[in-house]
Amino acid sequence: MAANDDHKAVLIVGAGIAGMAAGMHLAELGYPVYLVDSAPAIGGSMHLLDHTFPTNSCGICLMLPQQPAFCPTLECERHDKIRLLPYAELTHVTGGPGAFRALVRHKARYVDPERCNGCGECGAVCPEARPHDYEGWVSPVKAIYRPTGLRAVPDTWVIDMEYCTRCGKCVEACPTAAIDLDMQPREETLGAGAVLLTPGFAPFDARIKGEYGYRVYDNVLSALEFERMVSLAGSSVARLARPSDGHPRFAGYRHPRGGAPTAKPPKRVAFVHCVGSRDNLCGAGHCSSACCMYTAKQVALAKKLDPELDVTVFYMDLRAFGKDSEAYIEGVQALPGVTYRRAMPSSVHQRQQTREVVVTVAGEDGKLREEVFDLLVLAVGFAPPVGMQALARDMHVELNAYGFAVSDGYHPARTSQPGVFVAGAFREPKDIPETVAEAAGAAAEVAGFLGAASRQDPLQSGTRNTQHALRDVRDEEPRVGVFVCECNGELARVGVSDVIAWTKGLPGVALAQAVPVGCSADGRAAIQAAIEQEKLNRVVVAGCSQRLYGKEFEGVMREAGLDPRLLARVNLREQVVYPHSKNGSDLTSKARSLVGMAVAGLKTMSGLDALPLGTCQALTRRAVVTGGGAAGMSAALQLASLGIPVDLVERGAELGGQWRHIYYQAASHTWQGAAPVHPQGALAELVDRVRKDDRIRLHLGAELKELLGTPGNYRSVIAEDGREETVEHGVLVVATGGKPAIPTEYLYGQHPRVVTQRKLEQRLAASGQRTTRLRSEGDRQAASDGVDPIENVQTVVMIQCVGSREPGRPYCSRVCCTQAVKNALKLKELKPALNVYVLYREVRTYGFREAIYQAARDAGVVFLRYELPGSPASLTRASLGTGGAGKPQVTAQGDRLRVSLTEPVTGQTVELNADLLVLSAGIEAEGVADLAERLRVKLNADGFFQEEHPKMKPLDLGRGLFVAGLAHSPRFLEETIAQAQGAAMRAAAFLAPEAVVDRPTAVWVNDRLCSFCGLCVQACPFQGRVMNYDRRVAEVDYSLCQGCGVCAVVCPNKATKQKAFEHKQLMAAVDMGLV
Amino acid sequence: MGKQYAFYPGCTLHTTGVEFGVSTELVCQALGLEMVEIPDWNCCGASSAHSMDHTLFLALPARNLAKAQQVGLDDLAIPCAACYSRLAAADVALREDGAFRAQMEDVLGFGYEGRVRPRSLLDVFANDLTKQVLRAEVVNPLKGLKAVSYYGCLLIRPPKYTGRWDDPEHPQSMDAMVELMGGEAVPWSYGVDCCGGSLTLNRSDVVVHLVDKLVEGAREAGAEAMVTACPMCMANVDGRQKYRGGSPIPRKPKPQYETMPIFYFTELMALAYGLPFQKVLGKHLVDPRPLLGRLGLA
């Protein structure tokens, strides 16, 4: 990385899912990225999860900007623009925005990554144990250990000096002399224009909540440990077991206190929510936002492992506020044997003989009762990441009372220090989709801050193919060179010399020789020299997987003047040595077969000339954004700042969308010392910026009529003032927003004293001391009629979930609880003597919003719960048998209102005389059905746009189509802005290559043989085959073709051919394999 | 002479908890600790004052702190867990609540110096003395004595008052003491549970229920005895195993109900140190002598 790149470089602290996503997006746009992580291998908390809600799959590769992709850990390792700094810490930052100097301390690993080949001989001889990173002493590892993860990056072993006794056995055992027990930490100074903080979170240390007996009682696990237990990657290999039983997979586990365990699989499992969340006593007053859902997922996984399992979940409020969360958690609650109970255990004991866990909890009759479980799982919350306190102080980044970064409500990625940005759980605890979206948004902010990176020539980009002067080998007789890598002795067992001797006898083989370490610089030089010397025109390298050192061997080919497709890799390690060493198979004959097949295939290869390497299809660097609200404007501005012109299409006559109706924020939206910005002031500023930006063409009162073309080269018809205009663009961001739902019950529209929360907010804004300019005419009118919320009002009653979370609108609208609490606090502020009652089902003030819920209770706002009939059993008298007693009843009492409800805890009826009834009715998507049809994309069951993957691709509707804001799902303003910035980044990254280069293995069509049957069109998973009705040929769209070859397989006439995988090649290889 | 401590015995060490008092005195002598009893001390107010008047509840122990200041020693050793809790609470109130301090200084006629540190006697033994010193005096190891340590509510909680000289939820110092005396500390999970405190008189049904849980827990864990540092816990566990009456809800006597003796930790120390102590063992309501006799310890 050149020094003059420094001011464009981005230093990312934390290589978890947020850091990797942001890093990949920035790298794709051409920014040099340093990715620092304190762990020995990158990946963060993500490695733990091989199942994520709601698909119960991983799919993390989908979040990457260019598809298809490997796992992001591998992609980060492979990317030219990303330098990984694992096992390192940022210790001190000097300089200023645009020119930071960052002091990075590389911790001593004691194993040289250049030499370590991951053989594990050291671990075999190491006599000392250390606890597993995620599973603790349940599954100890050696003091010298391989970082956790199936394919850790880097895959270098590391010594934990806390447990190492420096006995030196590993040093003796290491065949490559990679271990140095005297290795010292090393410091390095890096220059960067911006710093992005994505250090994630630390799981709350459940030992602080001593009453649960974590690490004292054997069978009390943290959610992390349970996650590993139900995961195939965990030590118990997705089997439920009690740690006290010394499960066979818990090798080396010794019971800490002896006892007489009786081995039996757990049958009764309890989960406790909010361990280290919503708990001021242990310094964690915030809600961790993700635990309700991850617990539900773990319950589902546990039930899958053992359908007979009895599961009890103890909770305070179920906060299923995310997209599709409500439906998921209802599904889990409906599983047989699963009981959700609104109660928190008061104490936990352990039976010393049976090691059962005894939980004391209020029973259905209100009395304390003891319940016995085999396992108790603590749903630990998100604590601030370790070490960030000091770093934040050093960098003058303000942290909030909980130890997380304070960010600007209107620019969610910005911290109090210019040039330092934040994303992910360190900004506020959050789940994966929000993190992925926010990381992309933060990357956009960083890119906007740094200005354009040096543009990449798509043909010169390191991840793409480079055009070299390649030798034309078409007319040459095949001369195949076979290089068998000994992989530092690891492949000795295949009988390298036998394989070579046999290979030499194959027709077409000009050279066969062994290389000690093919991937090393020496090895590669030897191969290149041999190619040139022997005039080879086909090369077989037999050694490790082709996923390793791909770039290096391609480089060798190009340097030697050969098309890299003339190289075949044979994997003797994973396909021969690893699987067959222990079962007595004949390794040599299998190795011979594989090498022979590769030779036969290569020898018959032709057709490389059908299309020249590096065909480009230019992408249109222009975007259309539909919707001029918070999401649309933010996305448009962000795209413009990334150098992409935008057509912003707004249905209405005015910009601003729902933002026009927000008059005050729930909590401080900026750091200390900064002047608070009024929401309407912030909106006015944003509108101004949009109007003044000459890269944004504004279409007001306009509509997107039609979307034509292909991803990267769309043509949209925009109708404006009765005219239709066609715009050519590469990407589309859908930000059409939502609208408030209209209540249909509780006398709304029939009684003047029944209003919505929005109306109340307008009235408060109008009548408050801080009189506010009401933006819209509608708001001004609304504010002047109806009941003044302050004058002559004694009691205000608010009802939550009006029409929400019940048939008809089954989802949670996410913002209503906070809005009600915000308005309740405002009422109390304006008139402290006012009685304010909030009738709720669950209070979902997630994240740091929990603080205002607390503040409202402290201010005397009374929260009363109601339950719908048939709701999950909670520990209440009213809910016995039938579930809840139902919704509140509202009756008109002349000019006033009477509200009655059955309070579930006491079972008694509460009667309230209300002067004002305020309804929280939720959010609906607006006008999406037509648009979805025009875009040929799906809506989810709740009527919002369905993203491609709910967790990993939350901003993509399809290739070149992105979504943000209320059109995606209900959300807060700052979340909408972050998401819109993320969508803009996704769009920019999609256009980043400027042109799509066809894959080396792309298909081509022999027009004469094509019978226009269309099977290839159906088969293509990337929509890359198109029927051309003029020529009557099924063509290839090279912007979409990924070179997978599926169409070549289904083509009945063999009209479709895949470069480097021709039929005759494959037949020749198969023939050779059958010999 | 060894280290000096100001000493607050509290009422019970002279009355219902006389075995605690006698054993404490003997053990301190044996360990060479000089306990200087504070002059003219009064009741700490533990069991009843809080239900009458909050100020009185803090004022009673505050007066004792005022008296302790006169002794001139920084560490104030308090054997009884309840007394300790009250004096520690009063000290926190005096330190942190200016108005309360001013009021107390006025009423009691003293100037709060914040120098005297109320400490549990168990804390003093466990943290001021080395294991070697504690073990050195053992002449009669309590071999075979399986005991659970019962810390109760007040000895190490809340940490705001006690300052975490042991883990507030899973304390270990008394277990360590049992092991040092040659006994077997049996792990269990009821060590900080409530015995019912002063409810023993007006709601003995509650206390009987709580004590039953404790004794069952101890037995399930494999213990034959319990150890405590609190006269209230002693009174309840010792008394309510035997005298279960006064209950508004008549309880059926449990079949084969076996009582379990409970000791003050100082009693076990006195036993292990071979001090002339046997005569007060008869004060226990659940007679520990059969158990000790069976183990050849008394």
Please report residues of B whose CB lies closer than 8 A to that of A217: 189
Q: Mind spelling out the 3-state secondary structure of A374-406?
A: CEEEEEECEECCCCHHHHHHHHCCCECCCCCEC
Distance CA A34, CA A12 (A): 6
**Range with the lowest mean pLDDT among A120-134, A297-311, A847-861?**
A120-134
Instruction: Round to the nearest angstrom and report the end-to-end CA distance of chain A.
Output: 50
Residue A776 has pLDDT above 70, yes or no: no
Residue A255 has pLDDT above 70, yes or no: no
Question: Quick one: average pLDDT of B131-144?
Answer: 95
* pLDDT score recorded for residue A927: 78
Beta bridge partners of A571: A543
Residue A1 has pLDDT above 60, yes or no: no
Strands laid side by side in the A702-710 sheet: A702-710, A713-720, A723-729
Q: Which of A210, A217, A348 sits opposite B167 (nearest CB)?
A: A210
Whole-angstrom Cα Rg for chain A: 32
CB contact under 8 A, A210 and B188: no
Most distant CA atoms of chain A, gap in Å: 104
Question: Quick one: average pLDDT of A107-120?
Answer: 89
Banded pLDDT at A462 (limits 50, 70, 90): very low
> What is the nearest CA distance from A216 to chain B, expressed in angstroms?
8
Residue A1071 has pLDDT above 70, yes or no: yes
- What amino acid is encoded at A341 in this protein? R
* pLDDT score recorded for residue A72: 83
CB contact under 8 A, A351 and B222: no
A372 touches chain B (CB under 8 A): no
* pLDDT score recorded for residue A834: 95
> What is the nearest CA distance from B288 to chain A, expressed in angstroms?
24
Angle at A849 between CA A843 and CA A853, to 5 degrees: 50
* pLDDT score recorded for residue A149: 64
Question: Quick one: average pLDDT of A449-461?
Answer: 60
Q: What is the pLDDT of residues A375-403, one digit of tens each?
A: 999 999 999 999 999 999 999 999 999 99
**Is the complex ipTM more than 0.85?**
yes
Banded pLDDT at A878 (limits 50, 70, 90): very low
Cβ atoms of residues A97 and A416 within 8 Å: no
Banded pLDDT at A464 (limits 50, 70, 90): very low
Question: Quick one: average pLDDT of A1028-1056?
Answer: 87
How distant, in Å, are the alpha carbons of A275, A277, A283, A294, A965 from that of A381?
A: 6, 5, 12, 11, 27
Residues in A 184-243 with any Cβ partner in B closer than 8 A? 210-211, 213, 216-217
Distance CA B58, CA B54 (A): 7
* pLDDT score recorded for residue A781: 63
> What is the nearest CA distance from B125 to chain A, expressed in angstroms?
24
B141 touches chain A (CB under 8 A): no
Q: Mind spelling out the 3-state secondary structure of B196-249?
A: CCCHHHHCHHHHHHHHHHHHHHHHHCCCCEEEECCHHHHHHHHHHHHCCCCCCC
DSSP 8-class letter at A493: G
Distance CA A624, CA A697 (A): 9
Q: Which two tokens stand for residue B154?
A: 């007040």
Residue A1003 has pLDDT above 50, yes or no: yes
A208: nearest CA partner in chain B: B169
> What is the nearest CA distance from A353 to chain B, expressed in angstroms?
6
B216 touches chain A (CB under 8 A): no
**Coil, helix or strand at residue A857:** helix
Of A474, A639, A574, which is closest to residue A988 (Cα–Cα)? A639
Please report residues of B whose CB lies closer than 8 A to that of A211: 169
Distance CA B84, CA B99 (A): 23
Residue B249 has pLDDT above 70, yes or no: no
A840 touches chain B (CB under 8 A): no
Banded pLDDT at A276 (limits 50, 70, 90): very high
- pLDDT above 70 covers a percentage of chain A that reads 89
Q: Which of B168, B189, B217 sits opposite A213 (nearest CB)?
A: B189
* pLDDT score recorded for residue A871: 63
Banded pLDDT at A498 (limits 50, 70, 90): very high
More confident residue, B5 or A232: B5
How distant, in Å, are the alpha carbons of A419, A424, A444, A983, B227 from that of A10?
A: 10, 17, 12, 20, 62
Banded pLDDT at B254 (limits 50, 70, 90): low
User: pTM of the full predicted structure?
Assistant: 0.85
Q: What is the pLDDT of residues A500-533, one digit of tens each?
A: 999 999 999 999 999 988 888 888 899 999 999 9
Question: Quick one: average pLDDT of B205-228?
Answer: 94
Q: Which helix (H) or strand (E) holds A820?
A: helix A816-830
> What is the nearest CA distance from A131 to chain B, expressed in angstroms?
22
Cβ atoms of residues A360 and A349 within 8 Å: yes
Distance CA A108, CA A87 (A): 8
Task: Tell me the DSSP string of A768-811.
Answer: SSS-----SHHHHHHHHSS--SSTT--EEEEE-STT-SBTTB-S
Task: Tell me the DSSP string of A24-77.
Answer: HHHHHTT--EEEE-SSSSS-GGGGG-SSBTTTTB--GGGGSSSSS---HHHHHH
Q: Which two tokens stand for residue A230?
A: 């139900």
Question: Quick one: average pLDDT of A931-958?
Answer: 90
CB contact under 8 A, A211 and B169: yes
* pLDDT score recorded for residue B25: 94
A217: nearest CA partner in chain B: B189
Residue A241 has pLDDT above 70, yes or no: yes
CB contact under 8 A, A352 and B169: no
Q: What is the pLDDT of residues B276-292, one digit of tens each?
A: 888 888 889 999 999 99
Question: Quick one: average pLDDT of B119-127?
Answer: 96
Question: Quick one: average pLDDT of B153-179?
Answer: 94
Question: Quick one: average pLDDT of B153-162?
Answer: 92
**Coil, helix or strand at residue A349:** strand
Q: What is the pLDDT of residues A535-571, one digit of tens each?
A: 999 999 999 888 778 878 888 888 888 888 889 999 9
Q: Which two tokens stand for residue B194?
A: 């409530």
**Range with the lowest mean pLDDT among A80-84, A794-798, B43-47, B166-170?**
B43-47
More confident residue, A839 or A770: A839
A218: nearest CA partner in chain B: B189
Please report residues of B whose CB lies closer than 8 A to that of A257: 187
Contacts of B251 (CB under 8 A, 6+ apart): B205, B208, B244
B193 touches chain A (CB under 8 A): yes
* pLDDT score recorded for residue A1001: 79
- Helix runs in A289-431, H state only: 291-305, 325-333, 388-395
* pLDDT score recorded for residue A1026: 86
* pLDDT score recorded for residue B270: 95
Contacts of A659 (CB under 8 A, 6+ apart): A629, A630, A679, A683, A973
B217 touches chain A (CB under 8 A): yes
Residue A586 has pLDDT above 70, yes or no: yes
* pLDDT score recorded for residue A465: 41
Distance CA A56, CA A231 (A): 11
Angle at A355 between CA A352 and CA A359, to 5 degrees: 95
